């Protein structure tokens, strides 16, 4: 019980629980949309989804300042690639939160004379750019680990053994592709923080892609990806060893 109380006492913890519930409702609505006997339930789930979304917007007030502080820390990283990716990602995320806060103020009537569609579009753009930069960091980190492991003699012996034991695979696929996939999978298995962060960012990417019209998804895909991303967020918050750093 104590870990749960500690988790829910954090604003990030509450936001991720709300987010998981929101996308679970979205997924359930999509799955039940054609069931005539569940119309009342679908209506209730849609109402709950809307309420959770509004609640999350309130919880995110002030997150722009946190992202700016994070940018101040990442700009001091010694690795130039990480410094660029993470600083740009944090600045983009801060701008996303600012747009999100303005849209929330508009929805509650605190601000009236703004172009809601334009602010919403800018919000999605900043969110998309932030995710792209985070994914770029993930790819860079994975390539670094793969390069290091490929130079390890013991690992090279294991990979050669794998290719020897599975010659039919190496013959069918593009030359060296099997070795690359073996190295990639072993890297992700040995670094679950990288694997989880990559999956989370890929899942999140479907949201802005859909809103920007770059890749249209349905409610089921959005709900499933959002739920998976939220569950990963909960796991990494409760298990710091699975959280990627920096």
Residues 165-211 pLDDT 10s:
665 554 544 456 667 787 888 889 999 999 999 999 999 999 999 99
Q: What is the span of the domain harbouring residue 239?
A: 1-59+218-246
Supply the DSSP symbol for 61.
T
* Cα–Cα distance measured from residue 212 to residue 214, given in angstroms and rounded to the nearest whole number: 5
Encoding tokens for residue 4?
């749960």
Is the Cβ–Cβ distance between 235 and 196 less than 8 Å? yes
Q: What is the pLDDT of residue 172?
A: 46
Say yes or no: 30 and 54 in one domain. yes
Q: What is the pLDDT of residue 108?
A: 84
Q: What is the pLDDT of residue 163?
A: 62
CB-based contacts of 141: which residues, under 8 Å, 6+ apart?
Answer: 191, 194, 244
Structural domain count of the chain: 2
Say yes or no: 55 and 74 in one domain. no
Q: What is the pLDDT of residue 28?
A: 96
Q: What is the pLDDT of residue 61?
A: 83
Say yes or no: 22 and 79 in one domain. no
For 221: left if phi > 0, alpha if psi spans -120 to 50, otherwise beta; the answer is alpha
The CA radius of gyration of the chain, in Å to the nearest whole number, is 21
Of 130, 156, 189, the position where a domain reaches its end is: 130
* Cα–Cα distance measured from residue 132 to residue 209, given in angstroms and rounded to the nearest whole number: 11
Of 130, 160, 186, the position where a domain reaches its end is: 130
* pLDDT tens digits in sequence order for the chain, 246 residues long: 555 555 555 677 888 999 999 999 999 999 999 888 889 999 999 999 999 998 888 888 888 999 999 999 999 999 999 999 999 999 999 999 999 999 999 988 888 888 999 999 999 999 999 999 999 999 999 999 988 887 877 777 776 676 666 655 545 444 566 677 878 888 899 999 999 999 999 999 999 999 999 999 999 999 999 999 999 999 999 998 999 988
């Amino acid at each position: 019980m104590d870990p749960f109380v500690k988790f829910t006492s954090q604003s990030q913890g509450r936001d991720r629980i709300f987010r998981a519930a929101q996308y679970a409702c979205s997924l359930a609505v999509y799955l039940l949309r054609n069931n005539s006997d569940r119309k009342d339930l679908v209506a209730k789930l849609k109402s709950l989804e809307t309420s959770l979304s509004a609640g999350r917007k309130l919880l995110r007030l002030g997150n722009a300042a946190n992202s700016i502080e994070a940018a101040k820390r990442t700009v001091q990283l010694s690795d130039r690639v990480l410094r660029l990716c993470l600083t740009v990602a944090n600045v983009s995320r801060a701008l996303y939160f600012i747009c999100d806060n303005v849209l929330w103020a508009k929805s509650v009537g605190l601000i009236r004379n703004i172009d809601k569609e334009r602010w919403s579009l800018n919000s999605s753009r900043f969110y998309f750019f932030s995710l792209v930069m985070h994914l770029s960091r993930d790819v860079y980190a994975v390539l670094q680990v793969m390069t290091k492991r490929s130079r390890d003699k013991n690992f090279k012996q294991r990979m050669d053994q794998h290719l020897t034991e599975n010659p039919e695979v190496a013959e069918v696929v593009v030359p060296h592709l099997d070795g690359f996939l073996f190295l990639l999978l072993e890297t992700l298995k040995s670094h679950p923080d990288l694997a989880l962060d990559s999956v989370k960012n890929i899942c999140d990417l479907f949201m802005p892609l859909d809103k920007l019209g770059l890749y249209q998804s349905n409610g089921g895909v959005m709900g499933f990806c959002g739920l998976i991303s939220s569950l990963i967020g909960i796991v990494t918050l409760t298990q710091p060893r699975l959280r990627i750093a920096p």
